[in-house]
Every structure is written in structure tokens, then in C-alpha cells.
Amino acid sequence: MASGVTLRTQIIVLHRYAYSNSSWIVKAISPDVGVLSLLVKGAKSKNSPFKAGIDSLVHSEIEIPRYKGNSSLIIPKEAYLQNYFPKMRSNLQSLASAQLMAEILLKLGNGKSHAAEEFKWLLNNLECLELNTIKENSLSLWLHKLCDILGYAPTLSKCGQCGQELLQPADLWPALGGAVCKNCLGERKSGYDPAFLQELGNFANGKSNQRNSWQRIENFFLGHLRVHTGALENLKSWEWLLETRRLAEC
């Protein structure tokens, strides 16, 4: 992109923190740029033109005058709020899920080549949470889709060795990029519990699973992303999500 142009782009705010007594540093994802670092001067003032447009997890549109593609800290002119997602914020579990998604994207950094898909998929999930349609498998689906966007998704519906269509993997072989069938596994012992492989097969084929199954699948894809990116250790929002789930069961 040419330097010194005015850029108008959508954002979802991933995180923000105070900068002086009057300003915020805002981390946001844009479909055009990837993860942006914004210095929003005077945003704590009651008369600020930004107001709720830079709150965490909002969908906004911002205008950046004299934008340069290599800028490390960008000063936006204004933010135009598109959606505050008030219903999502009123549900602790929905809010925790959204914060986990935001923290993961923040930790993954500025992958410009994947920005449009990451933004679209995050916005889609925030809109679903706002409609109060959170489902037990929603986070599993988001993590799997993110693996796919980044090029890390394991193949689960067919054998990586012989290409046979699978209802259930017999094992997962990272060297083959995913699942392996019973014939190709042969006499070797699977590295995964058969019950989990059945759950994973159901997931791959769009079938229903028990609640605990979805949580095991979440752990699988989260661990898969952690290994391939090396960037997802110590996710604070993951611990909070687990806590909100425990509270909901009480």
C-alpha cells in the first residue's frame, strides 16, 4: 500500500491498556492490515470522538490519515462504532469465549496474509455470541477454522497414508498431516485413546458429541495450534473460560 494515504478500515479491538492519564494504546485486528497498534490520544476524555468505539471486543471502523504500512504505532483520527455486542457482554461464558479468541489472535501477531479471514471468522463468532446462540461446539469449530486459515489443520476425514475415507481415525500421525486408518496403522499401538478418536471422527463428520467431548476437542486443537505457532502459552482467558464453565455447572 502506498505511504501517506488515508486508510479507512474496520477493526475489532482485541485489547487496550492505559497510556498516560488521558490516552489508550489499542491492539486491534483489521481485515486490511492485520493486527494494528493504535495510540488513541485523549480518548479518556468525556468529549473524545472515540467514546465506545475503542472498547475491548467492539466492532468499529476507523480512519487513519497519512497511513504508512510500516508504522509501528498509529494515531487514528476517529472511530465509528459498528457493534458493541451488549448481549454477549452480559453472559460471562460468552464474554470469556470472545476474550479467548481475541487473546489468541493477539498472541499470533500480525499475519497480514491471513488478516481478512481471521477478521471475518472472529466477527462471525462475535455476532453469533450476540444472538445468544453459543453452542458447546462453537469454540472447537473456531479453533479448527483458525488452524485451517493458518495452514495447520490436520486432515481428519481421510487417511493421510492411503487416502481412504474415514468415519473414525485409528491414530493421528503428524508426519502425514493428520489421521491414519486401521489398515495403515497395522499392529502399531495408537497414541490416542479410542474414545477420543471416535469423538474426533464425529467432529470431522459433523456429528454430535457429549459436552466433555467438545472440551477434549478444544484442548486438542488448542494444543495443536500451540505446537505449530509456539505462541499460545499462558492464555489467561482460557483459565477464565474454564472458571465460568465451572460456575455455570454449580
The answer for 206, left when phi > 0, alpha when psi is -120 to 50, beta otherwise, is: left
Write down the pLDDT at residue 133: 64
The answer for 12, left when phi > 0, alpha when psi is -120 to 50, beta otherwise, is: beta
**Quick count: other Cβ atoms within 10 Å of Cβ 146?**
24
Mean pLDDT value of segment 36-47: 85
Write down the pLDDT at residue 70: 66
**Is 1 a residue whose pLDDT tops 50?**
no
Kindly report whether the global pTM for this prediction surpasses the value 0.85. Answer: yes
Model pLDDT for residues 89-118, shown as the tens digit of each residue: 999 999 999 999 999 999 998 778 899 999
The overall average pLDDT reported for the chain is 90
Model pLDDT for residues 199-237, shown as the tens digit of each residue: 999 999 888 888 788 989 999 999 999 999 999 999 999
The answer for 222, left when phi > 0, alpha when psi is -120 to 50, beta otherwise, is: alpha
pLDDT band for 50, please (50, 70, 90 cuts): confident
Write down the pLDDT at residue 2: 47
**Inter-residue contact 58 to 84 (CB < 8 Å):** yes
Grid-cell match 492464555, residue found = 235
Q: Minimal CA–CA distance to 164: which of 172, 156, 174?
A: 156
Cα dist from 7 to 28, 51, 68, 176, 203, whole Å: 15, 20, 9, 43, 41
Write down the pLDDT at residue 209: 80
Distance CA 26, CA 12 (A): 10
Distance CA 49, CA 75 (A): 13
Residue-range domains of the chain with CATH:
5-84 (2.40.50.140), 88-249 (1.20.1440)
pLDDT band for 134, please (50, 70, 90 cuts): low
**Is 169 a residue whose pLDDT tops 70?**
yes
Least confident among 17-26, 41-50, 149-158? 41-50
Q: Minimal CA–CA distance to 167: which of 184, 179, 152?
A: 179
